[in-house]
Every structure is written in structure tokens, then in C-alpha cells.
Amino acid sequence: MTLNPALDLELTRLVAASPAQIWRCWTEPELLKQWWAPKPVETVEATLDLRPGGRFATVMQLGAQTFPTEGIFLDLIPRQRLIFTDALHEGWRPAPEPFFTAILTIAPEGDRTRYTARAMHRSPEDRARHEDMGFHGGWGTALSQLEALAITL
Amino acid sequence: MTLNPALDLELTRLVAASPAQIWRCWTEPELLKQWWAPKPVETVEATLDLRPGGRFATVMQLGAQTFPTEGIFLDLIPRQRLIFTDALHEGWRPAPEPFFTAILTIAPEGDRTRYTARAMHRSPEDRARHEDMGFHGGWGTALSQLEALAITL
């Protein structure tokens, strides 16, 4: 799957945790809740039905405001790749407000792990909107939180 | 997957062909092209990459006009169920103009086969638009064409 610079955003970094540790942080709700939102935002709910078509939903909270997200997993290769989207909801129904598909890949590289998160959009406008929402900062901060948690597992 | 009357359209019928014959008509491009479009519309191209995430694209033609469709398969259980959507394109990318997900189910019933095609939409407006485009007539005519072909296989 080739990156399309007009439609995609990508964050890639070498992290100290192993693929198995990173996979646990992504797939266990109680771990996901600890790193998924860049602090001071908190993830207060996480539903992960880990199969193609299974629901992936979270609720984030900042002060009195809550931010629900809703989508499904599309493809899962344990400790290697995870794909999910908000363009479809549970039961494969088209979502009212589709925004992006995310492809997470993790692979050993030397004594560390290459972590790459790609967000694919419908249009250059949506890509720009995601960038303006703080994709690099937000996903980057969350990744640092993930790494700090993962190495303790 | 429960039908949502506000968002879904469904066509169901008992047909004389077997699940295996119907499955062939749906999954072999040269067969699909013979029944997929209600005549006098013709299907002149059909691409079927039969795996979750695989491309499902057709081009229909009426006189000088062509009508391309683009989507992917989501889930396939041979001779039982086929799910595809135009809400995602190849590589799982969100589609610019998502419209529906289709769930086809086929199951033996007495000496015939229960054939059910459901179209699930993002909004009541999209459901109404699909109905106005002639969902029942179009899919119904195509199904009669499928049945006529399938029983010859």
C-alpha cells in the first residue's frame, strides 16, 4: 500500500518497546486507555472487538467535554499490522461522517521496533483538516505515552 | 445483522438455482457481466479480487454512456454470504462518495434457494435516493437474469 502524499498523513519512529509489547498496548482496552489520548485528554471508554468488522470505539474526555469515536477493525495481523476505519460502523454500515482509515505497522529493526501509523483520507481537504487538528503532535505525543507504558510490560 | 428499516433496502426471493450456481454467477467475472446490469444496460467490465479488502469494480454501459462503480469486498463465505461496499476503495481508503454496503445471503430452503440482497446506507436520504433510483426494480430484474443464467450452469 503506497503512501499518497496528497491524501495520507504518516508518523514513523523507532521505539524501544517490542512488537509484542506494542501490540498489547493497542489491543487491551485497559492498556489502550492509558496512552491513546494525548494528555491532558483522557480515554475513559474503549471497546475493541478484535476481528474484521468488529467494533472499535472510544470515548475521550477533557474536562466536562467528551469525544466519542466509532469505527471497525478491518484487518489484524498480531504483532505486525492493524487496520481500522471510521468510514464503516459495526455491521459494515457506511458511517454518516467518514473521515479516515488508519494502518498501523510494527516491525523489528535492529534492537528496536519501527512503528508507523498512516492515516488515509477521502480528499486533500480532509487530509489538511486532520493535519490542522494536530495529527503529528497528537499521534506523536500518544506514541511517546505508548512507548513509556509498553516497556514496563 | 438486523435490518434497519430507516436505512436499509432489501430484496428477498426464492430462486430455482443452487447456492453453488448462484455463487459462481456472483464471483466469476465472465458470468457476472451477463446478469449484473438490468438489460438494456450492459456490464462491459468486471474486476473481482475475491478477498477482504480486494477490489470490486464494474463498468456498466447504456448506449454511449458508461457508469463505473468502485469498491471492495469486505467478507466472503463461499456459497453463503458476500459483503461488499463502495464506502472504501482498494487499499481500504475511504471513498470520496460513499453510498452503500451490500450483504448478499444465499441459503437452501426446501428444494430452492433463499436469495436476499440488502443495501445499507449512511442516512435515510441515501436510502430514499437508492429506492428512487429503482433499487427494487433494478436488483429484481438483475436477479431474474441471474436465475436464468445460474440454472444453465
Tens of pLDDT, residue by residue over B97-107, are 999 999 999 99
pLDDT at residue B97 in the model? 93
**Bridge partner residues of B121 (DSSP):** B100
Q: Report the share of chain B in percent with pLDDT over 70.
A: 100
Query: Does B138 fall in a domain?
Result: yes
Helix axes A19-27, A135-150, angle to 10 degrees: 110
pLDDT at residue B103 in the model? 97
* Mutation target vs A (from B93, B121, B125; most A CBs, 10 A cutoff): B93
Residue A152's pLDDT band (cuts 50, 70, 90)? very high
Which residues lie below 8 Å from residue B127, measured CB to CB, with a gap of 6+?
A: B6, B7, B8, B9, B119, B121
A130 touches chain B (CB under 8 A): no
Distance from the B27 Cα atom to the nearest Cα atom in chain A, whole angstroms: 20
Q: Report the share of chain A in percent with pLDDT over 70.
A: 100
pLDDT at residue A26 in the model? 97
Mean pLDDT along residues A8-24: 97
Q: Per the CB < 8 Å rule, is B75 touching A91?
A: no
Query: Does B3 fall in a domain?
Result: no
Q: Per the CB < 8 Å rule, is B91 touching A120?
A: yes
| Amino acid in the structure at residue B106 | I
Query: Does B2 fall in a domain?
Result: no
For residue A73, pLDDT beyond 80: yes
Query: Does A1 fall in a domain?
Result: no
Helix axes B135-150, B19-27, angle to 10 degrees: 110
User: In A, which residues are within 8 Å of B93 by CB distance?
Assistant: 7, 101, 120-122
pLDDT at residue B2 in the model? 85
Task: Report the CATH number at residue A24.
Answer: 3.30.530.20
pLDDT at residue A17 in the model? 97
Query: Does A115 fall in a domain?
Result: yes
Nearest to B94 among A1, A87, A91 (CB): A87
Size of interface A-B (CB pairs under 8 A): 84
pLDDT at residue B57 in the model? 98
User: In A, which residues are within 8 Å of B51 by CB distance?
Assistant: none
pTM comes to 0.93
**Domain containing A114: what range?**
10-150
User: In B, which residues are within 8 Å of A94 by CB distance?
Assistant: 85, 87, 98-101, 120-122, 126
Residues A127, B96: Cα–Cα separation, whole Å: 12
Mean pLDDT along residues B35-61: 96
For residue A47, pLDDT beyond 90: yes
Mean pLDDT along residues A103-112: 97
Q: Per the CB < 8 Å rule, is B94 touching A83?
A: no
Average pLDDT, chain A: 96
Distance from the B124 Cα atom to the nearest Cα atom in chain A, whole angstroms: 10
- Count of the separate structural domains present in chain A: 1
ipTM: 0.91
Query: Does A5 fall in a domain?
Result: no
Query: Does A142 fall in a domain?
Result: yes
Q: Per the CB < 8 Å rule, is B101 touching A93?
A: yes
Mean pLDDT along residues B24-42: 96
B72 touches chain A (CB under 8 A): no
Contacts of the segment A34-41: beta carbons below 8 A, 24+ positions apart: A34/A145, A34/A149, A35/A142, A35/A145, A35/A146, A35/A148, A35/A149, A36/A60, A36/A142, A37/A142, A38/A137, A38/A138, A38/A141, A38/A142, A38/A145, A39/A141, A39/A145, A41/A67
Nearest to A53 among B4, B74, B122 (CB): B74
Query: Does A31 fall in a domain?
Result: yes
pLDDT at residue A6 in the model? 96
Longest dimension (CA), chain A: 44
Residue B1's pLDDT band (cuts 50, 70, 90)? confident
pLDDT at residue A1 in the model? 76
For residue A12, pLDDT beyond 80: yes
Distance from the B76 Cα atom to the nearest Cα atom in chain A, whole angstroms: 12
For the stretch B87-144, pLDDT in tens is: 999 999 999 999 999 999 999 999 999 999 999 999 999 999 999 999 999 999 999 9
Average pLDDT, chain B: 96
